[in-house]
Structure 1
Amino acid sequence: MLTLCTTLLFAQPKPNEVVTGSVTGVVMDADLNQPIPYATVVINAGEKTVTGGITNDDGVFEINKIPEGIYSLRVQFMGYEAFERDLKIDREHRTNDMGKLNLSAVPAELDAVNIVAERTTIEQKIDRKVINVGKDLTTAGASAADIMNNIPSVNLDQQSGALTLRGNSNVQVMVDGKLSNIPADQLLKQLPSNSIKKIELITNPSAKYNPDGMSGIINIVLHKNVNIGFNGDVSAGLAYEKNPQFNSGLNLNYRNGKFNLYSNYSNSIAKRANYGTIYREGDNSTQFFDMLNDQNSHLLKVGLDVYLNDKNTLSVFTSQNSFKGAPGGNINIVYADDMSRNLMQDFGADMDNYSQQYNFDYKLDFEKEGHNIEFEADYNTFDADEDTFFDFTGATPLADYEDFVDTKRDRTTLNLDYVNPLSESEKLEVGLQAILFNTDIGYSSTGQSYNAAGNLVPTPNTLFDYSRDIYSAYVTYGKNYEKWSYQAGVRAEQVNVVADTNSVRAFTNDYFELYPSAYVTFNPSEKNQYQVSYSRRIDRPGVGQVNPIREWSSPLVTQYGNVNLRPQFTNSLEANYTRSLGKGSITAGVFYRIIEDQINQAVYVDRFNLDRAVLTNDNFDSTTAYGFEVSANYKPFSWWSVNASFDLFSQTQTGISEALDTDIDNPTVDDIILTEREVTNSVFNTRVINNFTATKKLTFTAFAMFRGPGQNIQFSNKSMFMTNVGARYSLFEGKGTISLNYNDIFNTMKARFTAVSPYALEGQFNWESNTVYVGFNYRFGDSKFRAKKRKNRDDNEADGGGLF
């Protein structure tokens, strides 16, 4: 009895004992009877939140150490009506099992699909400018190429496909943070505009990124629907001026809490005309160009994300791309003073290329939020065959011939990235990367070319093999302190380059370099932000710039690579200011670049045909470049918003240019004059986008762009002007959109230019810019909420604040 009494006495709760309890349960979809992962569970005491948690992949939650009291347990998740139940914690109710908590879906509207903003917005991050693509941009055309000229600081030459950022073409183009072997101009024409979520302009990338590209990185981020259930969207568009240009896409996604399976398909079927004239003053000749490019491309991406648990994620995807092109046309050269010299060249090509990409990613999240390690392996191949014929009529010693070019490229990329938030205000990032790149270009021809003695001989076959291996490591450290934040880092890189021509060593280039970066941001208030940054970058000679095989040829122009070309290095300084206003915002920025061993164009007179020019590249002395940008948006009324931008870029360029002495009637090789030209190329651009909301379903857009005159070593380019108008109408309860756009309504988008060396000339080229575009997009799905997002290694940017 004494033992029993003693046991009962000590088993009684102590008067001052702190009572805590726990609650468990499983959150379910009331309609599908499936668990809901990542739902939020909150314990409230009146208006105050006491504690909470989230459900795991199986919809299960457990919350411990809840103080004694009477509470309200609230469960919520996007796309569902909130669920509430009373909860009591005391000595008799320490453990509470809620069982199944069923959430009812809200009425199915647009929760199941990607919601695209009506108008485009721009954000300034600490290391990038982010353009969140709205419907006003996707209306501009069927593909990414159609909207690039609408982006501040970006220009796309619709004739050549050359893309520039801040007036410079040395830019890397990525899709979802990944490089592709697909040529940038081809890739942009294949991506449907409505598949683009945002475009990131990383003009001063941190040490975490590859240092390639003087002007930085353009990263195109695509929509990736990760809703629970099956959902997707379908789109189609048609543009027309002289020829039809069709583009369509289909995106599908299925997720059930443990895995996410998705696929994206797009195609582009188009004919694009290009025509123009070049007049040479010296011999009073005119070249008439008439070209048509028939293209057919298909792009398929299939991926799978497997959520092993809350801490481990496996992801794989593959992209398959097929492209067929049939460019052709003729060049007619007319000599007004001597018709016997007239010459016509007909040409045509069959181009087939196929690229494949395979990607594997594994990410481990540690207990601390943001603490993770990620491994990624990416393998990319590109195989292209190009068969081109050249037929001549008139005054030429050359017989008809054919060229055959076979290109094979492969790139393997391995990344290991580690992120550790040392505290709430500090973050450390370290990583390793290996990029193994190889290309083989085989060339053969049935034609003839001049040998060293000046005699026409059969053109020899050529095999050019080029490999470049890059091994790098980086570290960055960032810290926030009150209104200040900074980030500093350095990337160390070892590069090994080997090139062979016909199995004979052409050149090697091994070098080790360091690439530091630094950012400082000051936020004196919520409405103001100041930022300065620095990075060192490199422009490695491209394969085409060092390839000795003839790159491009017309009756009067030939282009070759230079095997002695060295890398170009750039030290880039940048400062930005962002100001939020009552009905809008404004941002302004300046940059300054110091360029070492600049790569630029060299123009020579062909020694075997003095009427022909030979284009190549060479290194020149150091130079500088600077620029200024300002962007603003303003919403004067609820039905009208305006986005406007202005940018100015200037760079001093040095190059070699040869010319014939124009004072001599019949010049010979001895009359060639060699000059080192230096020009200052200052170009400005201005853009304005107006958005008008007529009704909840109908909106209108008006866009105007003016590009000022510019100059390079060979040409002086005249200004361009373009105006577009468009309309969008929402239907099917907001799930569908139909767009109508009229581009370049005044038909003013023409490339006009003049030159003085090596020949005095003027010319103009036109393309199909005066187009009418009709597009349709429909979004569907049965999902009710967003799933856990896989973190892309290139999404790991620090916020700099300031929406503008």
Structure 2
Amino acid sequence: MRLHLLITLLFLSSRVLIAQQNQLYKGVVLDAKTNEIIPFATVTVYNESAFVSGISTNDTGKFNITIRAPFTSFKVSFMGYETLIAKRIDIKNEKAITFRLKALISELDEVVVQGERTTTQLKIDRKVINLGADVQQAGATALEAFDQISEIQTDLGTGSLSLRGNSNVRLLINGKPSGLNATEILEQLPAASIQRVEIITSPSSKNQADGLSGIINIITNKNTFRGFNANLNAGVGTKRYNYGIDGNYNFSSFNMRWNASQAGREMDSKQTIAQRYINGATRDFFAPHDFNGLVRKMAIGLDIFINDNNELSLGLDYTNDYHSFYNDTFYSNVTGREDFVYTRNSSHTHNTLDVNANYRTRFRDDNHFLEFDYQFSKNRNLFPAIDFEANVFLFEEERKNTNTLHALAIDYSLPVSDNIVLETGFSYNGRGLESTNRIVPREEIENFEAFDYNESLYGVYLQSRVKTHKLNWQLGLRYEKLMSDAVNVTADETLNLTFSDLFPTVHISYDINDSNTVNLGYSKRVSRPNFRHINPFQSRNQYFEWVANPNLKPEFSNNMESNYQYKGSKFNASAALFYRYRTAVIEQVQEIDENGVQSISFDNIGEKSSYGIETNIDYKAMPFWNIGISTNYYHTIVNSTISLTWDQLYSSNLILKNTFKINKALQADISFRQNFKTQNTFNFIEPRNRIDLAIRLKLLENRFMMNLRIVDILDNNLMFRRTVTQNVVQDEVWRFQSQTFGFLLSASYKLFQNKGKSRNRKSRNYQYGGTTD
């Protein structure tokens, strides 16, 4: 009997102990003075001095952690705040813990310094890359910063951008569209102005349905610290320089922010091409490209906090971007004629004005709100060019484009219960394009061409979010109707298009435990014919022509993906699998005829089935040494209705990143990138690799920072490309100088910083779908 009683007591006590060791703790971390949330703070659990577990707060300052071992205390820390030690016995409610951190008076400057490490956060419908203070991104452009993110594929030479092997990507700035194309935006935007990047490969119904491979949303830094604050920054590098100032003036009821900058850049690249035709003809040419650019940017903004529940934000951004091109191409080995030189002098001037107004009113909690957003963007473009052959004038042309965007969005969020939120909204996006082209040939009559395009896109969505202890659901449905009309004034031709479609989305997230999360997602996307496909008046010369296709049909894509993320104290890992099925695929088709004239057009070629995998590993090998490894592989099978050179397409790359914190002031980064063979429909690119080096030195208590960056230190990142069409085989070697085999030295200095600053309550970033590109 005593033995039975002892066994029973031991069993019950073990059950109690297990229950105690598997306790869920939920809470939030706040600023002790302002009650503002502190996102990405570190919450660790200790049993006396032994580490038990740990987690970071999310972007709303909240955390959930299940503790499976005995422990005695919590340790909460964040840069610029005093570390908080909270004993377990002092916790009254395990499901509603509030930790309040006090700012360090002696280290207030640290509050505005980004985290040293770039971190990744997996949300139910997106992956968020918090750039941190990445040494390789210091002083660089957004394009060069993206080159360090394995999930985004870029080319520093061509400025191309793609997600999961597909270039049909939608690029937004703070959730807003732009009249510029993606390359122009990325080359203008400084990397230092980016707070985080949202990679949305399976967008929810709140986002517009265009962008087959997904959306890249760049969230920029917002100066919102109290009082008067200002920063100076400057950089000089291989044929480039930049300087600027940014800051803000903030009090309790309003915040005024500003920035101004200028950047100059020269580039030279050399392209060698050999063409061999089916009929036996040959043609070789050497084409050096000289680029000279100057970008001036100015932005001002005003945030007005009417009361605790009402906020109004106004913003104005202006960009003046000028760049000139000089191409002196030497033709040799040309069948039937002597060697000669073809020269094109051209330039591009575009002025862009963006105006935004946003108003949000909150009701009983943060998830119950009504928001209005209006965006106006006007982009004026001028493209003059003059062509010569053997120093003999051929023709002069001047293209002008004026692109106007209006975007209005209304969003309403209603919490039905603690675990269910309903969201709905309406959007209108209007685009107007006026395009003219004037050509003055030698000894011929001047030719004037005009093309007008107008587009209206209406959208409405309904979305529900259901949250349980570990499982979260997000179901949505979006309806869109697009109406467009195009007028070829020169030929007196009109084209009217109307498309109406439904776009369902499903997202599921499951938290296995504090460290492991799994996501599943499905979305339907579309790529509709727009002015870039049907405008007949675009750049051309005697060896190149653009062919418009007014008969294009919309392309649809069904995207499915799964994501996994593990977060530990020293080791983090993530993996993604995806499948994408596309119909009526809009493909850029290129042909080179027997006379060597290359034509580019778009056509619906059939179907594509794509799949791929992405992996990321981050390991803190030593307190001073961090290792990151990223790999991806993408494969596409094409079922085409037209003749293509290759129907099996693939690409992959690897990034190995080593970051060393030598001491408190000195940090270094050595990165290796390997791009494996890339196979496209009409060409393939041979493997290439490069090694990059970056060093950062902090001085004057972090008020002054110097950065040295050398890209491709071995100078071997050449691009070898072979193009095969029906009439010709073309071999190409392209050497880029777009910060490749160059250096960049940049510096930043905190000119003024208010000592009484604290976090501002306006910490949210707007979610918005934008308009079609």
Kindly tell me: are residues 552 and 591 of structure 1, through their superposed partners in 2, closer, same or farther at Cα, counting changes over 3 Å? farther
Amino acid at match of 1:281: R
Please give the alpha-carbon distance, in whole angstroms, between the structure 2 residues aligned to 1:552 and 1:458.
18
Give, in angstroms, the shift of residue 234 of structure 1: 1.8
- Please tell me whether the aligned partners of residues 690 and 701 of structure 1 are also in contact (alpha carbons under 8 angstroms): yes
Kindly tell me: are residues 139 and 750 of structure 1, through their superposed partners in 2, closer, same or farther at Cα, counting changes over 3 Å? same
1:508 aligned onto 2:496: yes
Please give the alpha-carbon distance, in whole angstroms, between the structure 2 residues aligned to 1:583 and 1:630.
17
The corresponding residue for 2:128 is: 130
- Please tell me whether the aligned partners of residues 590 and 598 of structure 2 are also in contact (alpha carbons under 8 angstroms): yes
1:271 aligned onto 2:266: yes
- Secondary structure of 2:388's aligned partner: strand
The corresponding residue for 1:195 is: 193
1:495 aligned onto 2:467: no
Please give the alpha-carbon distance, in whole angstroms, between the structure 1 residues aligned to 2:546 and 2:438.
16
Please give the alpha-carbon distance, in whole angstroms, between the structure 1 residues aligned to 2:306 and 2:435.
43
1:791 aligned onto 2:725: no
The corresponding residue for 2:605 is: 620
- Please tell me whether the aligned partners of residues 432 and 472 of structure 1 are also in contact (alpha carbons under 8 angstroms): yes
Please give the alpha-carbon distance, in whole angstroms, between the structure 2 residues aligned to 1:542 and 1:437.
10
Please give the alpha-carbon distance, in whole angstroms, between the structure 2 residues aligned to 1:511 and 1:109.
57
Please give the alpha-carbon distance, in whole angstroms, between the structure 1 residues aligned to 2:662 and 2:326.
45
Alignment of 1:351-500 (within 5 A): 351-393=348-390, 400-447=394-441, 458=445, 460-500=447-487
- Please tell me whether the aligned partners of residues 702 and 725 of structure 1 are also in contact (alpha carbons under 8 angstroms): yes
The corresponding residue for 1:763 is: 732
- Please tell me whether the aligned partners of residues 192 and 249 of structure 1 are also in contact (alpha carbons under 8 angstroms): no
Amino acid at match of 1:781: Q
1:96-134 deviation per Cα after TM superposition (whole angstroms, max 9, x unaligned): xxxxxxx99853534475221112111111111111112
Give, in angstroms, the shift of residue 139 of structure 1: 4.0
The corresponding residue for 1:280 is: 275
- Please tell me whether the aligned partners of residues 211 and 537 of structure 1 are also in contact (alpha carbons under 8 angstroms): yes
Give, in angstroms, the shift of residue 711 of structure 1: 2.1
Aligned match for 1:332, one of 330, 333, 339: 330
Please give the alpha-carbon distance, in whole angstroms, between the structure 2 residues aligned to 1:618 and 1:115.
49
- Please tell me whether the aligned partners of residues 644 and 682 of structure 2 are also in contact (alpha carbons under 8 angstroms): no
The corresponding residue for 1:773 is: 744
Kindly tell me: are residues 761 and 39 of structure 1, through their superposed partners in 2, closer, same or farther at Cα, counting changes over 3 Å? closer
Alignment of 1:514-663 (within 5 A): 514-553=502-541, 555-606=542-593, 610-653=595-638
Aligned match for 1:219, one of 217, 220, 225: 217
Kindly tell me: are residues 726 and 558 of structure 1, through their superposed partners in 2, closer, same or farther at Cα, counting changes over 3 Å? same
Give, in angstroms, the shift of residue 643 of structure 1: 1.4
- Please tell me whether the aligned partners of residues 547 and 599 of structure 2 are also in contact (alpha carbons under 8 angstroms): yes
Kindly tell me: are residues 78 and 541 of structure 1, through their superposed partners in 2, closer, same or farther at Cα, counting changes over 3 Å? same
- Secondary structure of 1:252's aligned partner: strand
Please give the alpha-carbon distance, in whole angstroms, between the structure 1 residues aligned to 2:564 and 2:79.
35
Give, in angstroms, the shift of residue 596 of structure 1: 1.1
1:461-502 deviation per Cα after TM superposition (whole angstroms, max 9, x unaligned): 211111110011011101112221110001101110110001
Amino acid at match of 1:710: T
Please give the alpha-carbon distance, in whole angstroms, between the structure 2 residues aligned to 1:163 and 1:249.
27
Please give the alpha-carbon distance, in whole angstroms, between the structure 1 residues aligned to 2:394 and 2:153.
38
Amino acid at match of 1:611: G
Give, in angstroms, the shift of residue 384 of structure 1: 0.8
1:207-237 deviation per Cα after TM superposition (whole angstroms, max 9, x unaligned): 0001111111111111112111011322111
Amino acid at match of 1:772: F
Alignment of 1:27-38 (within 5 A): none
Kindly tell me: are residues 104 and 518 of structure 1, through their superposed partners in 2, closer, same or farther at Cα, counting changes over 3 Å? closer
Return 5+ residue gaps in structure 2 as ranges.
Answer: 1-32, 38-77, 84-100
1:371-408 deviation per Cα after TM superposition (whole angstroms, max 9, x unaligned): 110001111100011110101118xxx95111110100
Please give the alpha-carbon distance, in whole angstroms, between the structure 2 residues aligned to 1:656 and 1:136.
46
- Secondary structure of 1:188's aligned partner: helix
- Secondary structure of 1:198's aligned partner: strand
- Secondary structure of 1:544's aligned partner: helix
The corresponding residue for 1:290 is: 288
Please give the alpha-carbon distance, in whole angstroms, between the structure 1 residues aligned to 2:622 and 2:111.
29
The corresponding residue for 2:64 is: none
1:484-530 deviation per Cα after TM superposition (whole angstroms, max 9, x unaligned): 11100011011101100017343111011011111011112112111
Please give the alpha-carbon distance, in whole angstroms, between the structure 1 residues aligned to 2:619 and 2:318.
42
Kindly tell me: are residues 654 and 446 of structure 1, through their superposed partners in 2, closer, same or farther at Cα, counting changes over 3 Å? farther
- Secondary structure of 2:113's aligned partner: coil
1:571-602 deviation per Cα after TM superposition (whole angstroms, max 9, x unaligned): 10001111234521111111101101101122
- Please tell me whether the aligned partners of residues 231 and 247 of structure 2 are also in contact (alpha carbons under 8 angstroms): yes
Please give the alpha-carbon distance, in whole angstroms, between the structure 2 residues aligned to 1:518 and 1:183.
30
Please give the alpha-carbon distance, in whole angstroms, between the structure 1 residues aligned to 2:104 and 2:310.
31
- Please tell me whether the aligned partners of residues 112 and 785 of structure 1 are also in contact (alpha carbons under 8 angstroms): no
The corresponding residue for 1:172 is: 170
- Secondary structure of 1:423's aligned partner: coil
Identity %: 26
Structure 1 length as normaliser, TM-score? 0.80
1:254-313 deviation per Cα after TM superposition (whole angstroms, max 9, x unaligned): 111010000122322101111110001233321110111110011211100111111111
Please give the alpha-carbon distance, in whole angstroms, between the structure 2 residues aligned to 1:429 and 1:513.
20
Please give the alpha-carbon distance, in whole angstroms, between the structure 2 residues aligned to 1:104 and 1:432.
42
Aligned match for 1:323, one of 311, 321, 324: 321
1:712 aligned onto 2:683: no
Kindly tell me: are residues 444 and 653 of structure 1, through their superposed partners in 2, closer, same or farther at Cα, counting changes over 3 Å? farther
Amino acid at match of 1:688: L
Please give the alpha-carbon distance, in whole angstroms, between the structure 2 residues aligned to 1:314 and 1:108.
34
- Secondary structure of 1:701's aligned partner: strand
Return 5+ residue gaps in structure 1 as ranges.
Answer: 1-35, 41-76, 83-102, 449-455, 658-674, 797-804
- Secondary structure of 2:606's aligned partner: coil
Kindly tell me: are residues 738 and 593 of structure 1, through their superposed partners in 2, closer, same or farther at Cα, counting changes over 3 Å? same
- Please tell me whether the aligned partners of residues 139 and 192 of structure 2 are also in contact (alpha carbons under 8 angstroms): no
1:232 aligned onto 2:208: no
Aligned match for 1:730, one of 698, 702, 719: 698
Amino acid at match of 1:256: F
1:124-176 deviation per Cα after TM superposition (whole angstroms, max 9, x unaligned): 11111111112225545521121211102212222221111111111111111
Give, in angstroms, the shift of residue 559 of structure 1: 2.5
- Secondary structure of 1:118's aligned partner: coil
> For this pair of structures, how many residues does the alignment match?
671
Kindly tell me: are residues 114 and 653 of structure 1, through their superposed partners in 2, closer, same or farther at Cα, counting changes over 3 Å? farther
Amino acid at match of 2:505: S
Kindly tell me: are residues 113 and 407 of structure 1, through their superposed partners in 2, closer, same or farther at Cα, counting changes over 3 Å? farther
The corresponding residue for 2:45 is: none
- Please tell me whether the aligned partners of residues 141 and 147 of structure 1 are also in contact (alpha carbons under 8 angstroms): no
Give, in angstroms, the shift of residue 633 of structure 1: 0.4
- Secondary structure of 1:446's aligned partner: strand
Amino acid at match of 1:500: V
- Please tell me whether the aligned partners of residues 192 and 248 of structure 1 are also in contact (alpha carbons under 8 angstroms): no
| Deviation larger for 381-390 or 536-545 | 536-545
Please give the alpha-carbon distance, in whole angstroms, between the structure 1 residues aligned to 2:141 and 2:132.
14
- Cα RMSD for the two superposed structures: 2.5
- Please tell me whether the aligned partners of residues 79 and 111 of structure 2 are also in contact (alpha carbons under 8 angstroms): no
Amino acid at match of 1:785: S
| Deviation larger for 149-158 or 425-434 | 149-158
1:350 aligned onto 2:341: no
- Secondary structure of 1:316's aligned partner: strand
Amino acid at match of 2:176: K
- Secondary structure of 1:308's aligned partner: strand
